[in-house]
Amino acid sequence: MSYKLLRALLFRLDPETAHNLALRSLGLMQGIPSACRSVGQRLTVTDRRLRQEIWDLEFGNPIGMAAGFDKNGNVAKAVAALGFGFVEVGTVTPRPQPGNPRPRIFRFPAEETLQNALGFNNRGMAAMKKGLAGQRGAGVPLGINIGKNKDTPVERAEEDYAVLFRELSECCDYFVVNISSPNTPGLRSLQEARIVQSLVRQGREITPRPILVKLAPDLEESVAVELGQAAVDAGAAGIVLTNTTTDYSLVAGADRVGGLSGRVLKQRSFELLECLAAELFGRCLLVSVGGVDSAKEAYRRLRAGASLLQIYTALIFQGPSLVREINRGLGELMARDGVESLEEVIGADR
Ligand SMILES: Cc1cc2nc3c(=O)[nH]c(=O)nc-3n(C[C@H](O)[C@H](O)[C@H](O)COP(=O)(O)O)c2cc1C
């Protein structure tokens, strides 16, 4: 069935119901190794020019699954089979929590935009640990995105991050400290240089895994740069830009809840990448996310200084073959420009 047809059916369902159906299907696929293999063979682009070695890990291509799709890490292996070069699971919190009341995901098809107010609904770190134990060897690097529980007071947030670093260190290849979701009250107030430094320093004492920090697109540019610098000074391996935006003026008719992702976030996410690249390129790894929806856009982000990219919303609107399309397209753009490796592409426009 073409994705156009499947999408017409899925879009008749409430977005979260459709999402859960997709997760269930991926779960079924994951349970049948031959199905996972054959999907992987069809959707994975093998092109040595797209490969990178980062933190002693092999990234087969620069396109990753963004956080929030597989919050519990149940289907990381199946997601990897869609052709991703790496997969990020979470956001996971120490204890299970239900998230905000439904409905809490909304679609804006004309704008290829989603709005979500989920609020870190997840089964908690113990369930994630158990689930991931059976999936090592997903074949691609795996990141865990971590956040605090809603009922943990902001002043005690560091304790939540500490226990997550400790408990999940053996289950992943890198961590992302999420202090930028708009759906947990007070979380964004952790976006302060002193706090970011303390979170990263504490993490470095607990885990040998690379630690990245994920920022919001709604920060003043100078503040985002300051936070990026503070994180890197404290030993962060990279910055993930960006989470969803609370600039509701970007979509006519959007309620003032949650965060917007997809096409309306594209330009803002790009601008923030350029700002951080101006200060931090070469000092840490930049991961660009927000409105990446084509090979052309992916190429632009790489040339602006991102080493890795992530997608979420465009996958919902364009379907699972998008990853293959982007990777093939990147190969074509590289051939057009006569470049032989991503190293020559990354940061070329700076
Ligand atoms: C339904 C939904 C849930 C999300 N959940 C999380 C999350 O739990 N943690 C997080 O760091 N980002 C989360 N995000 C943000 C994405 O990881 C990403 O930063 C953002 O959507 C921008 O990328 P996109 O435009 O490709 O979707 C979520 C996004 C969506 C649409």
State the closest ligand 1 atom to the C-alpha of 291, by its place in the atom list counted from 1. 25
What confidence category does residue 150 fall into, taking pLDDT thresholds of 50, 70 and 90? very high
Residue 136: what pLDDT?
64
Nearest 5°: CA angle at 27, between 23 and 31? 170
Residue with tokens 């995901």: 105
CA angle 207, 212, 215 (to 5 degrees): 140
76-90, 135-149, 216-230: lowest mean pLDDT where? 135-149
pTM of the model: 0.98
198 included as an active-site residue: no
Confidence (pLDDT) at 112: 97
CA of 335 to the centre of ligand 1 (A): 32
pLDDT value, residue 1:
72
What is the pLDDT averaged over residues 258-275?
98
Sheet containing 105-108: give its strands across: 105-108, 113-116, 259-262
Cα distances from 77 to residues 6, 85, 143, 230, 312, in angstroms, run 22, 12, 12, 34, 16
The single-letter code of the amino acid at 332 is E
Confidence of residue 139 (pLDDT cuts 50, 70, 90): confident
Amino acid at 305: G
Question: Among 93-97, 187-191, 286-290, which stretch is predicted with the lowest mean pLDDT?
Answer: 187-191
* pLDDT cut 90: percent of the chain above it: 96
**The residue count for the chain:** 350
Question: How far is it, in rounded angstroms, from Cα 81 to Cα 205?
Answer: 34
Tokens of 156: 């005690």
Q: How confident is the model at residue 267 (pLDDT cuts 50, 70, 90)?
A: very high
For the Cβ of 68 lying below 6 angstroms from any atom of ligand 1, the answer is yes
CB 117 within 8 A of CB 98: no
The CATH number given to whatever domain includes residue 215 is 3.20.20.70
User: Looking at this protein, which amino acid is placed at residue 278?
Assistant: A
Tell me if 193 is assigned to some domain: yes
350 lies in some domain: no
The pLDDT score that the predictor gives to residue 97 is: 98
Distance CA 172, CA 190 (A): 24
Catalytic residue of the set 180, 181, 288, 307: 181
Task: Return the SS3 of 137.
Answer: coil
Q: What is the pLDDT of residue 253?
A: 87
Contacts of 257 (CB under 8 A, 6+ apart): 115, 117
Structure tokens at 90: 């979470």
Nearest CA to ligand 1 atom 22: 290
Residue nearest ligand 1's atom 2 by CA: 68
pLDDT in tens, 216-239: 999 999 999 999 999 999 999 999
Q: For all residues of the chain together, what is the average pLDDT?
A: 96
- State how far the Cα of 254 lies from the Cα of 95, in Å rounded to an integer: 31
- Contact (Cβ atoms closer than 8 angstroms) between residue 157 and residue 191: no
SS3 content of the chain, % helix, strand, coil (to 5): 45, 15, 35
- Number of independent structural domains in the chain: 1
Q: What amino acid is encoded at 1 in this protein? A: M
Task: Give the pLDDT of residue 137.
Answer: 61
Q: What are the distances in angstroms from CA 139 to CA 29, 226, 253?
A: 16, 35, 42
pLDDT digits (tens, 9 = 90+) for 31-57: 999 999 999 999 999 999 999 999 999
Tell me if 91 CB under 6 Å of ligand 1: yes
Mean of pLDDT values over 333-349 = 97
Does residue 14 lie in a domain region? yes
Does residue 227 lie within any of the structural domains?
A: yes
Query: Residue 208 in contact with residue 181, Cβ under 8 Å?
Result: no
Domain interval for residue 290 = 3-345
Contact between 50 and 85 under an 8 Å Cβ cutoff? The reply is yes
Q: Say whether pLDDT at 260 is over 80.
A: yes
Residue of 125, 145, 161, 261 to test ligand 1 pocket, by largest number of atoms within 8 Å of CB? 261
